[in-house]
Amino acid sequence: MSEAIRLQKIIAQAGIVSRRKAEELILDGRVQINGQVVTELGTKADPERDHIRVDGKLLHGAQQHRYLMLNKPKGYVTTASDPEGRATVMQFVERAGVRVFPVGRLDYLSEGLLLMTNDGQLANALTRAAAKVEKIYLVKVSGKPAEASLDQLRSGVMIERGKPGSREGRVMTEPAQIKLIRDAENPWYEMTLTEGRNREIRKMFEEIGHHVEKIRRVGYGPLVLDVPPGETRELSEDEVESLRRAAKPKSARPKTASTVTPAKGKPSGSRSRVAAGNTEGKTSTGPRASRSSNRTSGRPSRGPSRRPGSSRGRNK
């Protein structure tokens, strides 16, 4: 006989929404078990014996989990639908034949690597603050910040919490790794973060008096962007397993060389990183990121070559 499990987990496994969103559906009275509305989060059910409906639609058991990498172009929102009628990233994954959802967010004007999946458990694990999953960005800044100002960002700065004008107060950012990769009047930096606050990168540079012109995410945990803008690909089993390891809270991981905190502003040396595409948004269609050769195409032109072993760092 099958085992009764929590209702929100059953809904997430069916690929309807993430587990967190499933909890909201339950609290809103939109879920039924055998014809009875359920509003308690601790409720359990047997997915093989009980009839479970969400908004009147019968669940048909757990879907096969799917994991996609999307290269999000700018000008799209990372939601399933948008009340303002703007284009969403869902149009790029419709051909996958299954409902998947974005893990974290990239804001409307940002572009780059976006993980899409119907594995709600993994999605929640990756976005938990305790996981400290590294996200790597290429950032073009208007004007050249002083090194002392960049050191402020490396140490953490106070930024506005939430959306601009929300009056939610201010919060200190986590330390960031920042490396100049193209010196110019409007330089490019590689930036590694382990958190994902609303428009965090833009707010950080605004705090030191500089406007961010472009943001492209090129790394997410063990993943490296390697598809053209607007395209997707399935993750390999090895990549999914690497994501599961990356999602484990740092305190639960053995203290090895790959998890030692790097010196301020310098790469940690845990693994080789590469950004896909040049500064005009073109991306490589060559071998997957797991192959270490030809991994420098994602860096803006004229930037210094990456030395092997350099490391990387929701809504940017």
CA separation for the pair 209, 207 (Å, rounded): 6
Q: Is residue 294 packed enough to be buried (19+ CB in 10 Å), middle (13-18) or exposed (0-12)?
A: exposed
Catalytic annotation present for 119:
no
The two three-digit tokens of residue 247, written as one number: 């999602």
The phi and psi torsions of 247 (rounded to 5 degrees) equal -80, -10
For residue 219, the tally of other CB atoms under 10 A from its CB is: 27
Other beta carbons within 10 Å of 239: 19
- Residue 112 CA to residue 254 CA, distance in Å, equals 31
Q: Please give the Cα distance from 154 to 175 (Å, whole number).
A: 5
Helix pair angle (147-155, 200-207), 10° resolution: 130
Rounded Cα–Cα distance for residues 295 and 273 (Å): 7
- What is the distance between the alpha carbons of residues 239 and 132, in angstroms, rounded to a whole number? 18
Contact 124/18 with Cβ under 8 angstroms? Answer: yes
Polymer length of the chain: 316
Among the listed residues 46, 107, 151, 226, the single catalytic one is: 107
Positions marked active-site: 107
